[in-house]
Amino acid sequence: MNLYLVKNKTNNVWGTYSSMVVSAESEYNARRIHPNRHIKHNKEKGYWYILQKDGNEFIPPSEISWVFFKDIDKLEVECIGSTMKPKGVIRSDYTAG
């Protein structure tokens, strides 16, 4: 796995994630990881969601806390090394407000 530093340069206000370090196979996959470990993406419909206990997808109002899924190409992504850790978020930076 590679380590990527992913920066959100489009939405840096209070109550948002500004960056994260992730373990991913590629830059493509790194862009599709949300800093909130509970939020996933729907590949076909192109949005972030939380899987509820009943199996339904809930689109959180906090989707704005990162970038909208349609804007993931605007993320700044840099490979910073390699790791043995599994795919996912290693560290995220949240600007509380």
Q: Break the chain into its structural domains and give their ranges.
A: 2-95
User: Up-side HSE of residue 18: CA atoms within 13 Å toward CB?
Assistant: 8
pLDDT at 48: 87
**CB-CB contact of 36 with 54 (8 Å):** no
What tens digit of pLDDT does each residue of 4-52 get? 999 998 877 788 899 999 999 999 999 999 998 888 888 888 888 888 8
Distance (Å, whole) CA 29 – CA 87: 9
Does the pTM exceed 0.85?
yes
